[in-house]
Chains A and B, each alone.
Chain A
Amino acid sequence: MLEIRNLHVKIEDKKILDGLTLTVNDGEVAAIMGPNGSGKSTLSYVIAGKEDYEVLDGEILLDGENVLEMDPDARAAAGLFLAFQYPLEIPGVATMSFLKAAMGAQRKARGEEELAVGEFLKRVRGAADKLGIPQDMLKRGLNVGFSGGEKKRMEILQMALLEPRFCILDETDSGLDIDALKVVSDGVNALRDGKRSFLVITHYQRLLNYIVPDSVHVMAHGKVVKSGGKELALELEANGYADYKTLAA
């Protein structure tokens, strides 16, 4: 369970999160929607531990543990995963070596044994096949020269391999074609096991037809201004954010 209580965050003297409170239970899929610039990516970065942000007040608890005191890698080892809105290109670091390093580091941090090479390769191949990622892409530099959609699939591949407890998907649907959207959604749905939780940030109700959320939250001006069931997404699709922008101001 992830509990965010009264979170206030600023960056470079600009207040971005302004008393945000949100709880996502075990097994829950929570969707966050909200206008551009309302602070959705900021929230995901702060949960993952990006250092640029200053947390002024509030707390974030993962199963009761305060993650704000943990390094980003410790948060990852504790089971947090962020699929980036804009995955980064890392030249010279082969995707395969990166996956091995990441899985190895997390297992080590959790006191688990390193995977045998054969088992590692089997898992990577299996997960890549399901997401329609060709093997030769895994030999290339991480995300280097990948298309927007390929990068998003690569994020989901990492998520599948790292088996986090809490997954944040920041606009994973943007840039995906219709077929890829299905493939990626299937990938996410396959990871829904009743325990694993998801925070799905999106601008499009369409994604939520594939990944059906348990709750939908509207974010504006750095806080959650309305919460509801999946029908809330349909309402937003029809009416836009006009009501909420004024409501929060």
Chain B
Amino acid sequence: MTDVTPIRTAAESAILSRFPQAKASLPGTPAVAALREQAFGSFVETGLPHRRVEKWKYTDLRAMMREAAPLAAAPAAADIAAAEALLAAAPAFDGVALTVVNGRFTPELSDLAALPPGVSVADLGEALGSGHPLVGERMGRAASADDAALALNAAFMTGGVIVTVADAVTVVSPLALRFVTVGDVGAATYPRALLQVGADASLTVIETHLGADGPAHQTNTVVEIFAGDRSSLNHVRVNAAGAATVDVSSLGVVLGAHASANTFNFVVNPAAARHQVFFRFAGEHSTGNISGAAMLKGRRHADSTLFVDHAVPHCTSRETFAHVLDGEATGVFQGMILVRPDAQKTDGKMMSRAVLLDDDAVMNNKPELEIYADDVVCGHGATVGALDEDLLFYLRARGLPKPEAEALMLAAFVGEALEAIAHDGVRETLEGMVDAWLKARA
């Protein structure tokens, strides 16, 4: 087979032709504009990722995006009302609300007055234009990779939030960071968030993604978190984007010394979801837990692609993912642990477990270890299979009809994954979402 440069797809052509006009109205200082140009330049070279790009092997974004949805406009009053209605109908997470609608920070749906002392929030859209110091110092430094999704977000980003937690501040109430996509027709959104958690500070963030089921939105979000020495971060992402949405998200975490960071991604609803995590240990003696669960039916698709960078010694990382796949759903787990030459005493493990409820469901696992230090403990494991027939029989012999017996076992399976979430209230809300998914299936 000759590997000629492919002809641009309709979606790629549309994206390429819209940038020259769009860039004039996108926010940013000349420095930001230069960054956009550079990112766009790299997209011109790569186009949309497809299955011959190793990191995107199982998620052929070029095939999934037949057309490029038009860029979402800044939300009008009606859009904000629609977002409010979606939020009201969705499972509620307690916390101080910060809301981003169609890629723009929306103060009307945010609770800035309730921000605890030591926490400050800025509108990222404004910050791009005003030369906010964090934009120059931090943006693009946590989620940094040669990746088309990152490049597209950097080129087209419209706004979002910057959150700063001062040193030594323990934020008791979680921040509820809500990304909502509204509009009757599919739109493309490029929101972004930048979180800086100071030394000795602690923060819980619940990041939710919501949208109506009808329109084929294309969302591309980048969240970057810089967590200082001895900090403690708990991040839970709930992807309940609309059922026709193609959602691409990138999370970048840079963790200081003697710190701990937990991030959990829960996927239930979008047509296709790709979540990529770039996690870098920048200080010694720190722990990172990157975990998630997906419950997919129909022809849904969820991909978790992780890059864990042990750049320094004495750190521990865990990647733990669980998939429940029904119908013709596809799950993807790609875990990469890189242990650099200096990173002695690294302890890195990954585990992927999947339950297939249908012969047509597929799970793709690709764990990778790249180890350049000699004194390390690293490992990976994966299980894929149907529910245990003998256990199901035991439950049915006690009177549970098959769907209920399956639901009980699946709730236990996902429940085990949810144990990774430290915050009781958040975990309970997610358990409720699991039950709702199981009830809808039965």
Contact = CB atoms under 8 A, between A and B. Distances in A.
Interface in A74-96: 75-77, 81-82, 84, 87-88, 90-93
B399 A162 contact: yes
Contact of A92 (B389, B394, B402, B412): B412
A141 B413 CA distance: 12
A75 B401 CA distance: 11
A49 interface: yes
Given A88-B390, A105-B404, A73 B396 contact: yes
B401 A71 contact: yes
A51 B393 contact: yes
Nearest to A107: B399
B415 interface: yes
Contacts of B405: 73
A90 B402 contact: no
B398 interface: yes
A42 B395 CA distance: 18
Q: Which of A87, A101, A141 has the most CB of B within 10 A?
A: A101
A106 B412 contact: no
B397 to A, nearest CB: 5
Interface residues of B, number: 22
B412 A71 contact: no
Contacts of B401: 71, 73, 105, 109
B399 A102 contact: yes
Contact of B399 (A50, A90, A106): A106
B174 to A, nearest CB: 26
B393 to A, nearest CB: 5
A101 B390 contact: no
B11 interface: no
A102 B404 CA distance: 10
Interface residues of A, number: 31
B415 A92 contact: yes
A71 B399 contact: no
B394 A76 contact: no
A93 B397 contact: no
Interface in B372-416: 389-391, 393-402, 404-405, 408-409, 411-413, 415-416
Given A88-B391, A105-B401, A93 B396 contact: no
Q: Which of B389, B394, B397, B399 has the most CB of A within 10 A?
A: B399
A73 B408 CA distance: 14
Contacts, number: 78
Given A92-B412, A92-B416, A101 B391 contact: no
Contact of B393 (A50, A91, A92, A106): A50
Contacts of A87: 394
Contacts of A73: 396-397, 399-402, 405
B409 A102 contact: no
A98 B412 CA distance: 11
Contacts of A77: 399
A158 interface: yes
A213 interface: no
A102 B400 contact: yes
Q: Which of A48, A71, A91, A92 has the most CB of B within 10 A?
A: A92
Interface in B154-191: none
B409 A82 contact: no
B395 A90 contact: yes
Contact of A82 (B397, B408, B415, B416): B397
A94 to B, nearest CB: 9
Nearest to A103: B399
B393 A105 contact: no
A34 interface: no
Contacts of B390: 88
Given A93-B408, A93-B409, A102 B394 contact: no
A90 B413 contact: no
13 contacts: A51-B389, A72-B396, A84-B394, A88-B390, A90-B412, A92-B411, A92-B412, A93-B408, A93-B412, A98-B395, A98-B408, A105-B404, A106-B399
Interface of A: 48-52, 71-73, 75-77, 81-82, 84, 87-88, 90-93, 97-98, 101-103, 105-106, 109, 141, 158, 162
Given A71-B401, A75-B397, A90-B394, 13 more contacts: A48-B397, A49-B393, A49-B397, A50-B397, A52-B389, A71-B402, A72-B397, A73-B396, A76-B399, A88-B394, A90-B412, A98-B398, A106-B398
